Amino acid sequence: MIVVLTGGTGGAKLIDGLAAEIDPAELTIICNTGDDCIFHGLHISPDIDTVAYTLAGLIDDAKGWGIKGDTFTTLEQLGRLGADTWFKLGDKDFATHLMRTRLLSESLTLSQVTSHIRRTLGVKAALLPMSDERIETRLKTADKEFSFQEYFVKERWQPEVSKVFYAGVEKSKPAPGVLDAIGSGSGIIIGPSNPVTSIGPILAVPGIRDALKETSATVVGVSPIIGASAITGPAHKLMAAMGMGTSALGVARAYADFLDVFVVANEDKSLRAEIEELNVRAVTADIRMNSPADKKRLAREVLALVKK
């Protein structure tokens, strides 16, 4: 069993490649839920949905989220009725959130609901939320506080963030199966996801970081950064706000206590020596995934490293 820790878009691209290289039933995916949000009374789990849609062949590849070819009639009508419409929920996507919210209201856990959604979409990989409890990534500026979606979508990640925290995480516990998967996996992959808002919340759930330190499986991370910038989105800005620097070295430092191997961009080969001083093997690769061939190639390279 290969276990992947991931957020949404970046991690999902690698997972797409992994599912083409090995039997998807051999994958267990542990997903960030710190970006979860409520819109129009519905529980939305964007990272779980991004991974589920990717593995079901439904993802809108151009955007990296949502369902390809989806329409927005319901959202337009909600706008007419006075609702906020800055978070773009498509008509088919709405069905996922309606089903999730209904099953949660019938007292199913988020793990059970996630399992139902991935099975009915025909996804063979196991998909686990990091926790069944509500954990919310919050971002502070000098005078305001935002949820992740307010910061990322509504404010287009422009506010100067001074602090990021994961509300509710201290009292939370890992979802069923998470610690077992990390303990018994034959290889663990930390996806090329935002280290502050995608992997950070997963590592903050009590017990997960220790399980990663203790597992006998090889733990391989993939950098989401090239040079001093994320390939997409605000990872470098949020890393700077957290005092982590803005390079792949900062990501390696954040994972060094449990990481065996870190895959960085060819362009970052000069960081290898400093990463290896952290007791982490550094490997360079072409880490950009712009095509199905790129995703498969990087997945193959990462699989070769976890299998040793």
In the complex, the residues that contact ligand GDP under the rule CB under 6 A are 6-11, 13, 35, 47, 191-194, 198, 222-224, 230-233, 235, 287-289
Name residues whose C-beta falls within 8 Å of residue 231's C-beta, 6 or more positions apart in sequence.
10, 192, 224, 225, 287, 288
Neighbours of 189 (CB within 10 A): 30
Cβ distance to ligand FO1 smaller for residue 8 or 221: 8
How far apart are CB 105 and ligand GDP at their closest, in Å?
Answer: 26
Contact (Cβ atoms closer than 8 angstroms) between residue 307 and residue 26: no
Contact (Cβ atoms closer than 8 angstroms) between residue 6 and residue 51: yes
How far apart are CB 267 and ligand GDP at their closest, in Å?
Answer: 12
How far apart are CB 8 and ligand GDP at their closest, in Å?
Answer: 3
How far apart are CB 287 and ligand FO1 at their closest, in Å?
Answer: 19
Q: Which residues pair with 264 in a beta bridge?
A: 284
Cβ distance to ligand GDP smaller for residue 38 or 83: 38
Tokens (6 digits) for 255: 């994972």
Q: Which does 13 bind (CB under 5 to 8 A by kind): ligand FO1, ligand GDP, none?
A: ligand GDP
Cβ distance to ligand GDP smaller for residue 78 or 284: 284
Cβ distance to ligand FO1 smaller for residue 8 or 174: 8
Q: Which does 93 bind (CB under 5 to 8 A by kind): ligand GDP, ligand FO1, none?
A: ligand FO1
Q: Which does 36 bind (CB under 5 to 8 A by kind): ligand FO1, ligand GDP, none?
A: none
Q: Which does 66 bind (CB under 5 to 8 A by kind): ligand FO1, ligand GDP, none?
A: ligand FO1
How far apart are CB 131 and ligand FO1 at their closest, in Å?
Answer: 16
- Residue 184 CA to residue 172 CA, distance in Å, equals 22
Q: Which does 87 bind (CB under 5 to 8 A by kind): ligand GDP, ligand FO1, none?
A: ligand FO1
3-state secondary structure of 173: coil
Cβ distance to ligand FO1 smaller for residue 95 or 304: 95
Q: Which does 96 bind (CB under 5 to 8 A by kind): ligand FO1, ligand GDP, none?
A: none
Cβ distance to ligand FO1 smaller for residue 88 or 269: 88
Cβ distance to ligand FO1 smaller for residue 59 or 181: 59
- Residue 23 CA to residue 124 CA, distance in Å, equals 9
Q: Choose among 85, 53, 81: nearest CA to 69.
A: 53
How far apart are CB 273 and ligand GDP at their closest, in Å?
Answer: 21
Name residues whose C-beta falls within 8 Å of residue 264's C-beta, 6 or more positions apart in sequence.
223, 248, 252, 271, 272, 275, 282, 283, 284, 285, 287
Q: How far is CA 67 from CA 9, 41, 52, 156, 194, in A?
A: 13, 20, 10, 21, 22
- Residue 91 CA to residue 60 CA, distance in Å, equals 13
Q: Which does 6 bind (CB under 5 to 8 A by kind): ligand GDP, ligand FO1, none?
A: ligand GDP
What are the φ/ψ torsions at residue 77 (nearest 5 degrees)? -70, -40
Q: Which residues bind ligand FO1 (CB under 6 A)?
A: 7-9, 35, 44, 46-47, 49-50, 65-66, 87-89, 93, 149, 152-153, 198
Q: How far is CA 208 from CA 60, 130, 181, 297, in A?
A: 31, 9, 11, 29
Cβ distance to ligand GDP smaller for residue 231 or 271: 231
